[in-house]
Structure 1
Amino acid sequence: MRKNYKKLSLFCLSAMLSVAAVAVTDSNEANLGTMRGRIVDNSNQVLPGATVMIENLHTGVVSDANGFYTIPNLKPGVYTVKVSYVGYQPTTAKLTISAEKTEVKDFVLSEGMELKGVEVKGAFHGQSRAINTQKNNFNITNVVSADQIGKFPDSNIGDALKRINGINVQYDQGEARFGQVRGTSPDLTSVTVNGNRLPSAEGDIRNVQLDLIPADMIQTIEVNKVVTADMDGDAIGGSINLITKNTPYKEVFNITAGTGYSWISEKPQLNLGLTYGNRFFNDKLGFMAAISYQNSPAGSDNTEFEYDIDDDGKVVLTDAEVRQYYVTRERQSYSLSLDYVFNPNHKVFFNGIYNRRNDWENRYRVSYKDLADGEGEMKAQIETKGGSADNRGARLERQQTMDYTLGGEHLLWDKLSADWSASFSRASEGRPDERYMSLEQKDITINMADAGLRQPYSTTYINLDEGEWKLDEFTNANENIIENEWKFKLDFELPLANGLYGNKLKFGGKYTRKSKTKDVVCYDYTDGYEAMFGDDYSNYYINRIRDGFMPGSQYKSTMFIDKNYLGGISHVDLAAMGGEQVLEESAGNYDATEQVSAGYLRFEQKLGKKLELMLGLRMEATNLKTSGFNWIVDEDENEYLEPTGTYKNNYINWLPSVLLKYNATDDLKVRASYTKTLARPKYSHMMPGSSINRTESPVEVFVGNPDLKPVISNNYDLSAEYYFKSVGLVSASLFYKRINDYMVEHVSKGSYGNYDDCKITRPVNAFDADLLGVELGLQRDFGFIHPSLKCFGFYGNYTYTHSNVVKSVFGNKDEQALPGSPEHMANASLYFDKGGLNVRLSYNFTSAFQDDEEYQEEAQLRRYYDKVNYLDLNASYTWGKDIKYTFYAAANNLLNQPLRYYQGEKDRTMQVEYYGVKLQAGFKLSF
């Protein structure tokens, strides 16, 4: 079967393309012309989603994300063309089409005029761009333009996404990191840049780190909740497409400079941005470059707790921790877009973006362990987390992503157009010289108050000057994770007929090759340090739990080993200590190679003036190879890593789609669809080996599963949208997903190898589940109440999801909800926009949901992500004519919402982490 796998996948792909090629040959006509151009406003900003119609032919198209449009298949003659855009006066022009020629016509729409009592600028200008694209797309999408992003106090793309209907985000150090679409976990959603899926910088997931990309580097965010056949099929929740700044219509020059302040770091922040674009050589060469730099000292106040079930079936507190984080997060982002227009029928382009985030982190942790073992059997640990002096004495985590695409757009004959692209993407994470030094006091009694409640704490004061403390750990580790992707894509589009019953065919193929490597090497220098330095660390104690620790004053301050002392230990000293490699840390290393060959057909048919149909079929053939290590301890307690060899997992998925769009009126759109999508397993889950962490009690064991199957979802969607004449809309959507083979990390207790008391984690295809949801949205100014209120407006949405596990490999059906699926999500924003002044108060809510990282057999031990309430306030003032000056200010997290997990019951805290309020202010110039 596997021998014929490649032949079968190539046969399927060639068969699909052959069918399309026949259509090209049979439908080709001579002496036809084409109309092409770009839609912009009178400030030379491109207008995506504009409708370009030749009304007497009942033929039209919609401008793309960069304002370009193409109408092929036109007989020679004179045509009246009408361009319409929500919030702008429609424009008409006569254009003469010649045989076998392409006529270029750009349309410039006026802005700043009055329409139904609304002035189209400021917030409404940004809304109009998003609304037009959303209105004219065939599938269900939510669109946010750069202008809209700028109206919210969001520093990265993850924070901007939480404003969109049906999206929840998960946080890291107070910033949104992963996005969840429509009640699905982050690994069921794809994140793409200009249509190319980004690889993940982390070793254990496929999820893209959204906090790597500054918000000001993106031109448009498109959330496709229904994917079409020409899009990658691995998008069960949806596809988040980030469109970078593309080549402009005319010269663009913007500068941003700002600062900020964090409660925890008590240090200033720095934000810088620069964008320049223009066209050269008689507009043949387009150029756009952008740079963003952010430096944000911050941190968090954290407490964590762990519970277990004792022999009597009672839930007991086993471990408690107090953590103080100090973090400096630096982002650098660079983008470049080029295009060269040879003639109206042929253009080549290049898009590239590079993002780097340096995360310098120090963590000071007090741990109370074995709390359920009884008096005199407990222990306390005090730990400093840092790095070498080269890394500021902090743990440096450097994550990088990049995507470079070379492509072309060509009109080959009178009708047939072709688009091609070749792309390279990379994501990486490096942690050089990550160090931990901890001290331990054993066989003591620790008294805990409020165990099992929201904030347990120790009433036993832990002090390094009292009791017998011993060096428990001194390690130095280096981690390198790299994922490379090569992608080659070729698409064709063939209009077959114009008019009320016009149709067109789109077809193509894509090949993707991914390779990912995780390499962690860790050495323990505890014995070597004691031999060389004894207890020299005791001369370098420092207090690092800050005053005003937000979980509460009951958490007393203590002393830690100074990070500068830890970082000052040189590599020469480490070599002299002769450390011992910690093999279990390397047991999770792996190599993975994945190849995906895809082909598709997409047919669009008009069924009269109001109804449109799209039929699609996509084939994706996946060929995966993985290799890893087993960590083995023999009878003599000798340790070694044994290579697993290479494991293969190959499969083919056929993904049909049916989409209907009913244009009831020009302002009322109804959509219905059926699609089939998938989500591939994480590389780390399919690792054929096992890793063991014996430093924990019970011993933590992870066992890979190379036979995992992809998650498959059958999706049904129905939506209706009404667009107001005064820029705004009201929308409602109903969706249902039948998800099969949902993956979880199953956690159980038992024996593994030489260890009897183990916590064993193994990925499995665990559930089949139903997911039902409703989305409601409203964007509107208050001018309909009274003209004097047109400067006030509301932007809001609400999503309800209900999931139910219908089949479980664990033999029960009592699951209340699918892991990773919140029941309620809501956003609300009140804004004022007049005379250059914009003020916005924004609120975000997500209800609690079961975490999808681990699935505990005992319901009392399952981990839940608690509900969140975020309140942000921002304001800006813009003035000037030829040069626009903008001053802005923002306050984030006014409610001081913590990140909180609970275990089993709502009041049984597992983790709570506070970030405080963050303030920002700055200045922008637009030439």
Structure 2
Amino acid sequence: MTRKTFFKPALLSLAVGSAMYSTSSFSQEANTETSNDAEAQGIEVIAVSGIRGSLMRSQAVKMDNSSIVEAISAEDIGKLPDSSIAESLARLPGLAGERVGGRTSGISVRGFKEDFIGTSLNGRELIGIGDNRGVEFDLYPAEIMTGATIYKSTDATLMVQGIGGTVDLQTVRPLAAQETLTLTGTYEVGGNDSDNPEYDNKGKRFALSFVEKFADDTMGVAVSLATTESPRNERKYGVGAYNANEDGIILPTELDTQAISRELDRDTISAIFQWRPTDNWDIVLDALSIDYSDSGVIRGFIEPFSSANVTGSGVNSTGTQIESNPVLRTDPARKEGELKTFGLNLTYHVNDSWSVNVDVANSQSEKRDLRAESYSGLARSGALPPEQFGSREFTMGADGIFFNDQSGLDAFSDPAALQLTGPQSWGGGMASIADQFATDVLSANGEPFNYLNAQDGFLNYADFEEELTTARFEVAGLLDGDFFTEVTVGVNYSDRYKAKDNKGFFATASSYPYSEAIPEAYLYNGLTDLTWAGLGYVVAYDGFAPYNDGEYTLNDAGLLEPDRLGDTYTVDEEVFTLYAKLDFDSEIAGFLVTGNLGAQYVKTDQSSAGYIGVVGQNFAVCDDDSNGAIDTDCIVNEGADYSHFLPSLNISVELEENRFLRFAATKTISRARIDQMKASGFVKFGQNIDTIAIPNTEAAVEEYGSPWSKFAGNPQLRPLEANNFDLSFENYFEDEGYVSVALFYKDLVNWTRDGNELIDFTNDVTNDGANYFIPGFHTRIAPRDGTYGPADIQYAEGDLISPPDYGTFSYFEDGLEGKVKGAEVTAQVPLNMLTDILDGFGIAASATFIDAELQDGTPIQGQSDEVYSLTAYYEMNGFEIRVAATDRSEFSTYQRGGSNKIETATRSPVTQVDAQISYDFADSGIRHLEGLRVSLQGTNLTDEKEETVGESGIVTLRREFGPYYMLNLNYSFY
């Protein structure tokens, strides 16, 4: 059966010119051969650059794919307009971006966060440098990419899959690309000045890309070099929780207000060598290296919140915060990592019909995420009686707390008065080494200072390592049948290793049990601005300095904090996949029907090694004999092996010329999150006296919480699994115009469930009746007369405060089910269809609507009910202007929380507006400028904030990043 040609000539030339890489061993060769045939037949090749060219090439990829896909494409290497591939992906139909630190980093596909989508580079599985499987898309500079294809339905040859879909990033193939030498330079300016004196708001990027061919075009080399220095300045307002007092007025329990400055430094090398020694052989060698650093400072106040003389009702009130004893936290942060990946692809064409493809690759990444805490305040904890603390006037509303005035807190702007010490009693984790801090010096309440007063900082970091090795063997051939036209069979093997080492050190200043002013050598020239929160200007100093010069004595928290040891682990996975696919192409009832039918058999062997962290009677974690070594009964090794059968069917019916009805029915899996598969776990106890002072009843714990908590991972978790059904209608009416309506349904037959149960921590039935209570470690002495805890229990000075027996045991398990229903509407319309006056104007718009429901009512991470995207553009004679807006409704996600662990969060709706204006001198008639393109770009122009809203409807976390502007010069020498 001869397939009907449905491409228009311009679309054909664009599809050929893009030379998009595919996992099929035939696709690239076919593109090249088609290009040669077009030239031989004298078909006009229309070259269109800029946004219109990108839209046309992307449309051609979508139109000619047997699966339901989206695509982005640049006309050449180094020509994507964004600073990272993440920003380009976030504007596509059915996709939504998530900002991390002000940059678009995460990507959701059809409501599924990046951990639940597959990500590949040129068809190979891609690893990141994060905590889980999901790739940080802002790690990959746009300058090294030529495009991306997003598979919303899958076929049996697609090795990298996910329930949400698959994102395949693409770098150039030199023998299928034009020779070029391109230099790019970008100057960046943040719309917000830095609040911290040691940072600014200016950055720069440079990139050099070239493609060369040799030996009569049988050898090709493509190299991209990119370097980035990009600042981000952030204002953060955070709240531990909100509680209502006896009058029903809602107030925060703890405040966290910070000015954050960071700088991204990223150096990237991408190199591709391609060789065709004969017509039968095609050899491609890829190498990618990324060195990454995202470092800066988090500086501001963290403190318990107490109040009196409050007036108002509900969430709206004014009042005075009394006994204000804030901690000025100076937290220098340093996140550094590197990723290296190497791949070799060999294709041998046995004859005109059959080929063999072999692909092997190895990827390795490592990262250290370090945050050093340094505390300062009025005096060491316990040194001052409460009446010598400060006070603040405040206003409370739905957006949180704003301070109007303060007294008794002038030391925070005076380097000579501010003390380098811990003002709060946070040293409870050092109970097992209490003798180290024994002293005869008395605190303000007449008791000697002790380990509770000895924490002046904390060095917090986690090391991550990951390695992925893959090997693939595939045979593909053309068939002579009237229905089935091609068969592909193959085998794929992957071996993944990932490790996390969670480390920390308690820091105590040399002045203990006294305190001293911050050394002058530590100080920066200038103060940090917190006036935007009503907190004035505060001292700015180098938080690393007391660690570097030995001012702090460090004690390893690994055997002092159970959740450190309980979050250290390794995970191993071996996956063996057999697959087969049959392509079909036939005419049925007068309609051209194409597609494929296939299946994968996937065999998995997974395991994890880790620790269960528990504090013993000697106050040490898993060190009952106090020898400094982890007890063997704390070591855990578990795993599982299982298999899946994953069928797939893709059908495309050409209803009439350039109008298609597509249907897909597939079964897909997304492997469980790495942090959920760990063998490790821990028993944790909160040290705050108000948390300990909770009545000893199950009802009180259910209402107020508990200082006790237990957690365990599950190395036997099965992958998340879904049956997927997709239906799409696509009408291509112009070279750069189409409309499509897609419906999708996902039957989630297995999803990871969060298990929780209330247990007695003095008689743990889940651990052979273990009693975790230790007198003197889990109790507190009331330092003064007054009420304590959320139940306002009255205690006299010197009273013993004991915790409740009950707390929550949290774990993960299989078995949760759910359903996801959605619709996508997309339109790409050149406005010259309406009138020639609008030639060059166009609109690309999409809307995605999702209705998702899990059995237990929990949300899917990454899922917004509604996502909208609109891009309006004008391009003519080299001049281009583009305005893009994306809007997504509220969604659930997770983030790095305390002690380097993962925690869930809810993000408020967000609308981001970007714009770009540029001019390409290619047709200017000025010979020396014909390779130059100049553009001015702005992101987050409406200064959209990132917010997390708690159950009370009040903001618990707000991050403000401001807009960002970039001036870009791109010059192609040829």
TM-score normalised to structure 1 length = 0.81
Correspondence for 1:662 among 615, 638, 653: 653
Give the aligned partner of residue 322 of structure 1: 257
- The one of 396, 411, 417 aligned to 1:465: 411
Give 1:92 shift.
7.7
Residues 1:409 and 2:354 are matched in the alignment: no
Summarize the Cα distance change of 1:171–1:747 in structure 2 as closer, same or farther, 3 Å threshold.
farther
Distance 1:715 1:44, change over 3 A: closer
Q: State the AA in 1 paired with 2:211.
A: G
Is residue 2:784 matched to residue 1:793? no
State the alpha-carbon separation in 2 of the partners of residues 543 and 749 from structure 1: 52
Partner residue in 2 for 1:593: 572
Q: Does the aligned pair in 2 maintain the 1:544–1:559 contact within 8 Å? A: no
What is the rounded CA distance, in whole Å, between the counterparts of 1:460 and 1:637 in structure 2? 43
Alignment equivalent of 1:300, drawn from 234, 246, 252: 234
Q: Does 2:520 match 1:557? A: no
The aligned counterpart of 2:159 is 232
Amino acid at match of 1:176: T
| 2:721 alignment counterpart | 712
The answer to whether the 8 A contact 1:153-1:891 is kept is no
Partner of 1:16: none
Structure (1/2) with the larger strand percentage: 1
CA contact (8 A) 2:376 2:418 kept: no
- CA–CA separation in structure 2 for the residues paired with 1:338 and 1:713: 39
2 CA distance for matches of 1:801 and 1:545?
A: 47
The correspondence of residues 59-78 of structure 1 with structure 2, limited to 5 A, is: 66=28, 68-69=30-31
Residue 923 of structure 1 and its aligned partner are, at CA, apart by 1.1
Q: Which residue of 1 aligns with 2:586?
A: 607
Contact 2:154 2:161 in 1 (8 A): no
Retained in 2: the 8 A contact 1:863–1:904? no
Q: 1:402 to 1:476 in 2, by over 3 A?
A: same
How far apart, CA to CA, are the structure 1 residues paired with 2:271 and 2:733? 37
Contact 1:483 1:517 in 2 (8 A): yes
Question: Is contact 1:212–1:356 with CA below 8 Å preserved after alignment?
Answer: no
Contact 1:49 1:64 in 2 (8 A): no
- Mapping of residues 837-852 of structure 1, within 5 Å: 837-851=879-893
Please identify, of 473-482 and 205-214, the stretch whose mean Cα deviation from structure 2 is larger: 473-482
843-852 or 553-562, larger mean C-alpha shift: 553-562
Alpha-carbon offset, residue 853 of structure 1: 6.5
- 1:876 and 1:65, CA in 2 relative to 1: closer, same or farther beyond 3 A? farther
Shift of 1:255: 0.7
Higher mean displacement: 133-142 or 277-286: 277-286
Deviation at 1:739, TM superposition (A): 1.2
Instruction: Say which SS state the counterpart of residue 160 (structure 1) adopts.
Output: helix
Q: Provide the residue aligned with 1:639 in structure 2.
A: 621
In structure 2, the CA distance between the partners of 1:817 and 1:579, relative to structure 1 (3 Å rule), is closer
1:142 is aligned to 2:70 = yes
Pick one of 281, 304, 329 that aligns with 1:383: 329
Residue identity matched to 2:729 = A
Query: What is the Cα deviation at residue 294 of structure 1?
Result: 1.2
- Alignment partner of 1:245: what SS? coil
After superposition, the C-alpha distances for 1:857-895 in whole angstroms (9 at most, x for unaligned) are: xxxx98421001111111110113674211111111110
CA pair 518-62 structure 1, distance change in 2 beyond 3 A: closer
Q: Which residue of 2 aligns with 1:780?
A: 829
Match of 1:899 among 946, 953, 973: 946
Alignment of 1:688-703 (within 5 A): 688-691=679-682, 694=685, 697=688, 699=707, 702-703=711-712
* CA 1:148–1:169: 2 relative to 1, 3 Å: farther
Higher alpha-carbon deviation: 537-546 or 604-613:
537-546
What does 1:85-104 correspond to in 2, within 5 Å?
91=38
Instruction: Report which stretch shifted further, 283-292 or 635-644.
Output: 635-644
Other structure's SS at 1:579 match: strand
Equivalent pair of 1:151/1:840 in contact (CA under 8 Å): no
The structural deviation recorded for 1:567 is 2.5
Aligned sequence identity (%): 17
How far apart are residue 731 of structure 1 and its match? 0.9
- Indicate if the aligned counterparts of 1:381 and 1:441 stay in contact, CA closer than 8 A: no
Q: Number of aligned pairs?
A: 816
**Structure 1 residue aligned with 2:963:** 917
- Following superposition, the deviation at residue 533 of structure 1 comes to 9.2
SS in structure 1 of the partner of residue 277 of structure 2: strand
What residue identity is the alignment partner of 1:367?
I
Letter of the 2:265 counterpart: E
Equivalent position amino acid for 1:187 in 2: D
- Distance, in Å, in 1 between the alignment partners of 2:727 and 2:12 is 33
Equivalent residues of 1:734, 1:773 under 8 A apart = yes
Aligned partners of 1:233, 1:678: CA distance in 2, in Å? 10
Question: Which of 204, 212, 235 in structure 2 is aligned with 1:278?
Answer: 212
TM alignment of 1:674-685, pairs within 5 A: 674-685=665-676
Deviation at 1:628, TM superposition (A): 0.8
Instruction: Say yes or no: does 1:47 pair with 2:18.
Output: yes
SS in 2 for 1:670: strand
From 436, 458, 479, the counterpart of 1:475: 458
Distance 1:181 1:359 in 2: 26
Q: Which residue of 2 aligns with 1:537?
A: 518
Tell me if 1:264 matches 2:193.
yes
Work out whether residues 400 and 956 of structure 2, in 8 Å CA contact, stay in contact via their aligned partners in 1: no
Residue identity in the other structure for 1:712: E
1:769 aligns with 2:752: no
Greater displacement, 591-600 / 265-274: 265-274
Cα-to-partner distance string for 1:353-401 (whole Å, 9 max, x where unaligned) = 2222211110002013254999978753221112xxxxxxxx2211322
* C-alpha deviation, 1:46, in angstroms: 3.0
The amino acid that maps onto 2:931 is: K
Give secondary structure in 2 for the equivalent of 1:129.
helix
SS in 1 for 2:159: coil
In structure 2, what is the equivalent of residue 254 of structure 1?
182
Change (3 A) 1:370 1:708: farther
Q: Conserved in 2, the CA contact under 8 Å of 1:587 and 1:690?
A: yes
CA distance in structure 2 between the aligned counterparts of 1:706 and 1:50, rounded to whole angstroms: 36
Take 2:890 and 2:25, find their aligned partners in 1: how far apart are those partners?
40
Contact 1:661 1:669 in 2 (8 A): yes
1:200 is matched with 128
Q: How much has 1:348 moved relative to structure 2?
A: 1.1
Give TM-score scaled by structure 2 length. 0.77
Q: CA deviation at 1:816?
A: 7.8
Residue in structure 2 matched with residue 333 of structure 1 by the alignment? 268
The runs of 5 or more residues in structure 2 that have no matched partner are 1-9, 195-199, 310-320, 423-454, 623-629, 692-706, 762-771, 779-802, 898-902
CA contact 2:878–2:922 (8 Å) conserved in 1? no
Q: Which residue of 1 aligns with 2:553?
A: 577
CA RMSD in angstroms, aligned pairs only = 3.6
* Rounded Cα–Cα distance in structure 1 between residues aligned with 2:501 and 2:512: 30
Aligned match of 1:727: 736
Contact 2:571 2:674 in 1 (8 A): yes
Look up the SS of the partner of 1:343 in the other structure: coil
* Cα separation, partners in 2 of 1:854 and 1:157, compared to 1, 3 Å: closer
Residues 217-252 of structure 1, C-alpha deviation per residue, up to 9 Å, x if partnerless?
Answer: 111111101111111364100101100122144421
User: Do 1:601 and 1:616's aligned partners in 2 also have CA atoms closer than 8 Å?
Assistant: yes
For residue 921 of structure 2, what is the aligned residue in structure 1?
879
Q: 1:482-541 CA distances to partner (integer Å, 9 max, x unpaired)?
A: 10010001111121116x634221110110001111123322231x53359952426556
Give, in whole Å, the separation in 2 of the partners of 1:751 and 1:164. Answer: 50
Q: Structure 1 residues 50 and 355, CA, compared in 2 at 3 Å: closer, same or farther?
A: closer
Give secondary structure in 1 for the equivalent of 2:67: coil
Taking the aligned partners of 1:187 and 1:313, their CA distance within structure 2 comes to: 44
Matched, 1:428 2:366: yes
Counterpart of 1:104 in structure 2 is: none
Amino acid at match of 2:825: L
